[in-house]
Amino acid sequence: MALQVSVSVHRVGAEARLDSDTWMDREVVIKQRVVKGYRHPVIDKNLQTSRIKNEARLMLEARKGGIAVPIIYSIDLAGNRIIMEEIKGVRVKDALQDLPYPRAREICEKIGEISAMLHAHDVVHGDLTTSNMLLEGDRIVMIDFSLGSKTSEIEDKGVDMHLLEEAFHSAHHSRAELFDVVKASYVHHYERGDEVLKKVKEIERRGRYTRKE
């Protein structure tokens, strides 16, 4: 596989680096897991491999559930990387604040719908925040499934929605009330949505209780 030298570094996260590149005449993003170096090399390698497989598998599961995700062009297990379609969009986190209110509302309806579709398909994202949603024209593309799992557990879905709420309130505090739109849309599109949101309340109560101790 011939790869050009990367042209721009998107962001170097703690666990992965993201590069824009051209691959077989396509504009791609290469997500490469960074080897931490403080674990045993064999354990490290096995962990990286299983995380990449997990991320790719969940992206495919999400796609099967009708959720927009980047196309995966190649999974390079030896090189710890996934080569995927580059989404020409902005993070919902960066867009939501400045959009006209009705448009922001629409986006929030979509966030609720996408979360519902993921959960109805038993995909728990694991890092469900507006940083991991890219707005490309009218569609929202979900990324970063590295912490995700395939499960029907209401508790895990509750943790997903709890994280989404916390991240939403901190990133979009001036439009925090729009999370009600997210929740209404989630419940509308997922038959077990009410159950999950009850679980979120329980998780919040537990959190408050533990913090007091």
Ligand X SMILES: Nc1ncnc2c1ncn2[C@@H]1O[C@H](COP(=O)(O)OP(=O)(O)O)[C@@H](O)[C@H]1O
Residues lying near ligand X in the complex (CB under 6 A) are found at 10-11, 13, 15-16, 18, 29, 31, 70, 84-87, 91, 131-132, 134, 143-144, 146
Q: Is 19 a catalytic residue?
A: no
Report the Cα 120 to chain-centroid distance in Å.
Answer: 16
Residue of the chain from 130, 132, 157, 165 that contacts Mg ion (CB under 5 A):
132
Taking the C-alpha atoms of residue 197 and residue 5, their distance in angstroms, rounded to an integer, is: 46
Report the Cα 145 to chain-centroid distance in Å.
Answer: 5
Q: What is the closest distance, in whole angstroms, from the C-beta atom of residue 9 to ligand X in the complex?
A: 10
194 binds, among Mg ion, ligand X, none (CB under 5 to 8 A by kind): none
Q: What is the closest distance, in whole angstroms, from the C-beta atom of residue 132 to ligand X in the complex?
A: 5
Q: What is the closest distance, in whole angstroms, from the C-beta atom of residue 93 to ligand X in the complex?
A: 8
Phi, psi for residue 28 in degrees, rounded to 5: -130, 165
Q: Is residue 54 classed as helix, strand or coil in its secondary structure?
A: helix
Query: Which CB, 83 or 200, lies closer to ligand X?
Result: 83
Which of these is catalytic: 127, 144, 156, 160?
127
**Residue at 167: amino acid letter:** A
59 binds, among Mg ion, ligand X, none (CB under 5 to 8 A by kind): none
| Strand residues in the chain grouped as ranges (E) | 8-12, 16-23, 26-33, 72-76, 81-85, 90-91, 123-124, 133-136, 139-142, 149-150
| Positions marked active-site | 127
